[in-house]
């Protein structure tokens, strides 16, 4: 079957989520395929941000306990709204801090070396900041990262073999931290299997959900994951630098957080101003400082959309969009030297396509000038993320035609083949 524009338009007509596109500020002359780096602004997120500003204007300091969304409880309120997206109980999720700060918090809490169990297991494809955190935490505990941080090797530079990860779960490993979805290739790791294997060996395990939250369903409680953390500005559309979130399995409630702060306190004790911390009895204990209210506000509106759309429907459409893009690329771009760096199987493919080409940086610049917003990853990667809530099948078709024109007419040769400061 030849994949045509008319076929793409028919798929759009049959799309259960098509109405949600109108919720977002979409530029009709631009195909935005970088939602796995920064999601688009929704009208509801804008409204909730303005609503929080209004509460500041109206209530002043009483905004902490007054208004539709009292600030003092906002992190917990939004944590409970986010919990269904990760398959958790409401009190196991807290919206707080940044991804890196939350990771520092969790690793400082759960990495407790003892005897010969002193090592942390990660992987060589993880996002750099995660590795920086693990190196830092090892040094703080007096260990040399070059000896105590194990990074599982990739056989192809894009994906990880789960058997190789399990093989490295030795009796010297105290903690495992892995991505749920690899940020370059979009590979989904089998979190259920990896958690089971870790627990068989008495090892705690946590996951970085930055590239999976809002894109694929999770079942953290069912899988018995120990902890997880994630940002909210990619698929969750919380805005640049929006407040991050974390999950702690309820079986770990009652632990004193590794990095204690005022907002780690039990809510009813916080204003007693005691110099002995009484931690919250749930995930709230892993907060550190005062919530960034204006940076969390857009999530109020954004999470409403996810609640209405449903993560299962989002995942279904996401798979259809990425499969349509894969099939189109095979149909239209076969002669231009592109290779797929992402898994092709549905159960292993996250929310984006990862194309590799030796001229990738140039091609990304040409795409951008032609009205398609991609994401370049050095040295030769092009990430394309058709997002279920606001991208269309026709946009995917247009993108591939534009890319074909760029390659056929060698338009990319007008550009320098190196990344900008922000790739």
Nearest CA among 200, 177, 180, 182 for reference residue 190? 180
Q: CA neighbours within 13 Å on the CB side: how many for 7?
A: 11
Considering only the top CATH level, what class is 5-32+310-408? alpha beta
CA distance 400 to 395: 9
Mean pLDDT along residues 253-278: 91
Examine the pLDDT at 421 and tell me if it is beyond 70: no
What pLDDT digit, counting tens, does each position of 283-329 carry?
A: 999 999 999 999 999 999 999 999 999 999 999 999 999 999 999 99
Nearest CA among 283, 280, 257 for reference residue 268? 280
pLDDT of 417: 82
The answer to whether the CB of 293 falls within 8 A of the CB of 71 is yes
**Full DSSP string of 116-181:** TB-EEEEETTS-HHHHHHHHHHHHHTT--HHHHEEEEPPSSSS---HHHHHHT--TTEEEEEEESB
Examine the pLDDT at 262 and tell me if it is beyond 90: no
The answer to whether the CB of 389 falls within 8 A of the CB of 43 is no
- Binding residue ranges for pyridoxal 5'-phosphate: 99-100, 127-130, 208, 211, 233, 262, 290
Mean pLDDT along residues 151-161: 97
Examine the pLDDT at 419 and tell me if it is beyond 80: no
pLDDT of 32: 98
pLDDT of 125: 98
Examine the pLDDT at 218 and tell me if it is beyond 90: yes
Mean pLDDT along residues 324-353: 98
What pLDDT digit, counting tens, does each position of 6-39 carry?
A: 999 999 999 999 999 999 999 999 999 999 999 9
Strands of 43-106 (E only): list them: 93-95
pLDDT of 416: 86
What pLDDT digit, counting tens, does each position of 365-390 carry?
A: 999 999 999 999 999 999 999 999 99
The residue ranges of every structural domain in the chain are 5-32+310-408, 47-308
CA distance 345 to 31: 25
Q: What's the CATH fold of domain 47-308?
A: 3.40.640
- Binding residue ranges: 99-100, 127-130, 208, 211, 233, 262, 290
Residue 378's SS3 state is: coil
Confidence of residue 194 (pLDDT cuts 50, 70, 90): very high
The rounded mean pLDDT for the chain is: 97
Residue 374's SS3 state is: coil
pLDDT of 267: 86
pLDDT of 423: 66
Strands of 294-374 (E only): list them: 339-340, 353-356, 372-373
CA distance 135 to 121: 11
């Amino acid at each position: 079957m030849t994949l045509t524009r008319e076929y793409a338009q028919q798929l759009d007509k049959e799309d259960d989520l098509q109405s949600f596109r109108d919720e977002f500020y979409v530029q009709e002359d631009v195909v935005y395929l970088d939602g796995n780096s920064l999601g688009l602004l929704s009208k509801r997120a804008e409204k909730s941000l303005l609503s929080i500003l209004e509460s500041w204007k109206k209530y002043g300091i009483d905004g902490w306990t007054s208004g539709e969304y009292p600030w003092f409880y906002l992190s917990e309120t939004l944590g409970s709204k986010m919990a269904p997206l990760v398959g958790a109980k409401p009190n196991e999720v807290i919206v707080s801090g940044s991804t890196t700060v939350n990771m520092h918090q969790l690793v400082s809490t759960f990495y407790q070396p003892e005897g010969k169990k002193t090592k942390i297991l990660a992987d060589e494809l993880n996002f750099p900041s995660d590795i920086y955190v693990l190196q830092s935490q090892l040094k703080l505990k007096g260990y040399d990262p070059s000896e105590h941080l194990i990074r599982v090797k990739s056989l192809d530079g894009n994906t990880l073999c789960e058997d190789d990860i399990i093989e490295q779960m030795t009796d010297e490993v105290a903690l495992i931290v892995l991505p749920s979805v690899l940020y370059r290739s979009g590979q989904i790791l089998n979190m259920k299997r990896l958690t089971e294997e870790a627990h068989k060996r008495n090892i705690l395990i946590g996951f970085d959900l930055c590239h999976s939250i809002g894109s694929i369903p999770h079942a953290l409680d069912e899988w018995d994951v120990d902890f997880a953390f994630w940002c909210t500005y990619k698929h969750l559309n919380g805005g640049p630098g929006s407040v991050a979130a974390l999950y702690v399995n309820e079986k770990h409630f009652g632990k004193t957080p590794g990095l204690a702060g005022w907002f780690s306190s039990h809510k009813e004790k916080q204003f007693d101003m005691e110099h002995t911390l009484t931690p919250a009895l749930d995930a709230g204990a892993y907060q550190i400082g005062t919530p960034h209210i204006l940076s969390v506000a857009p999530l109020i509106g954004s999470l409403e959309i996810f609640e209405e759309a449903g993560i299962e429907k989002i995942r279904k459409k996401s798979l259809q969009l990425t499969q349509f893009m894969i099939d189109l690329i095979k149909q239209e771009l076969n002669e231009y030297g592109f290779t797929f760096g992402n898994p092709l199987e549905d159960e292993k493919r996250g929310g984006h396509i990862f194309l590799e080409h030796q001229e990738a940086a140039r091609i990304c610049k040409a795409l951008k000038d032609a009205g398609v917003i991609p994401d370049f990853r050095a040295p030769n990667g092009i990430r394309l993320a058709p997002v279920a809530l606001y991208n269309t099948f026709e946009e995917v078709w247009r993108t591939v035609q534009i890319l074909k024109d760029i390659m056929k007419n060698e338009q990319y040769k007008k550009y320098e083949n190196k990344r900008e400061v922000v790739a």
